[in-house]
């Protein structure tokens, strides 16, 4: 069966077969990767398949508790003037926590929290940034937020050893969303609305991944999750990361 690990977004910098996902530093063992993609593309499913095949896999790095208070106050102070000028809503609790996670996780990786294994983020910093860019308030268009976001992109470009971009046809993604037991904002929705929702995520991901690559991050490894079971994709990905 043909591999689902396809060429990266920019073919001019394609990763040759047999090389590591981060061609910039092939001698360093991968310590942090992120699985990205639209809803129902298989991020959590692939994480479970990876962790079942490798004891060294961890779910990102730990962050929470007082860290949210510390960073939440910092972000509120940083962005309050821009919010007042925006004449729009403030960040929701989930959105503010996303800012905290983006910074808090980076601090954890920099401290070596992933040094003894491979930290795999399946709703990680790129996902958080993409969701803010696609669905956040007008504040995310401000100079202050863009400056914060650019700093975050530059920081994570140096911390991620691989980015795995999961995809599947829209019809299959919609089918997976509808089949979920848990709530999802597009569950049972009109096909056109779901398509627009997925398109906004894809546009945000594409822009962010291009910015990350320009800042020195590895080109994303593209995976079509409609063509192969998660266990097979996980085995190929682990082999690629270890090579």
In the chain, what are the domains? Answer: 31-242 (3.40.50.300)
What average pLDDT score do residues 72-86 get? 98
pLDDT at position 11:
33
Among 9-23, 27-41, 158-172, 229-243, where is mean pLDDT lowest?
9-23
pLDDT band at 5 (very low <50, low <70, confident <90, very high): low
Ramachandran bin of 79, using left for φ above 0, alpha for ψ from -120 to 50, beta for the remaining angles:
alpha
Checking phi first, is residue 7 left (phi over 0); if not, alpha (psi -120 to 50) or beta?
beta
pLDDT at residue 6, as a whole number? 58
Average pLDDT over every residue of 12-27: 34
Mean pLDDT of the chain: 88
- Rounded CA gap, 10 and 220, in Å? 9
What pLDDT was estimated at residue 187? 80
Burial of 68 (C-beta count, 10 Å sphere; 0-12/13-18/19+): middle
**pLDDT > 60? residue 105:** yes
Residue 15 scores a pLDDT above 50 = no
216 phi and psi angles, rounded to 5 deg: 110, 0
pTM higher than 0.95 for the full model? Answer: no
């Amino acid at each position: 069966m043909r591999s689902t690990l396809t060429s990266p977004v920019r073919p001019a910098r394609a990763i040759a077969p047999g090389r590591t996902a981060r061609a910039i530093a092939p001698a360093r063992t991968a310590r942090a990767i992120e699985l990205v993609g639209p809803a129902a593309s298989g991020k959590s499913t692939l994480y479970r398949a990876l962790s079942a095949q490798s004891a060294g896999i961890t779910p990102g790095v730990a962050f929470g508790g007082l860290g949210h208070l510390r960073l939440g106050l910092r972000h509120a102070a940083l962005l309050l003037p821009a919010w007042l000028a925006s004449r729009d809503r403030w960040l929701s609790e989930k959105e503010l926590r996303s800012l905290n996670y983006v910074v808090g996780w980076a601090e954890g990786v920099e401290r070596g929290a992933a040094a003894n294994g491979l930290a795999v983020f399946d709703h990680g910093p790129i996902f958080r940034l993409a969701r803010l860019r696609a669905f956040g308030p007008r504040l995310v268009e401000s100079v202050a937020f863009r400056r914060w976001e650019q700093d975050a992109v530059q920081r994570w470009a140096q911390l991620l050893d691989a980015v795995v971009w999961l995809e599947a046809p829209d019809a299959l993604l919609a089918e997976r969303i509808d089949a979920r037991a848990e709530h999802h904002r597009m569950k049972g929705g009109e096909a056109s609305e779901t398509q627009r929702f997925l398109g906004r995520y894809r546009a945000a991901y594409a822009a962010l991944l291009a910015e990350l690559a320009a800042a020195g991050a590895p080109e994303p490894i593209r995976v079509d999750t409609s063509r192969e079971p998660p266990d097979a994709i996980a085995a190929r990905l682990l082999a690629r990361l270890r090579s």
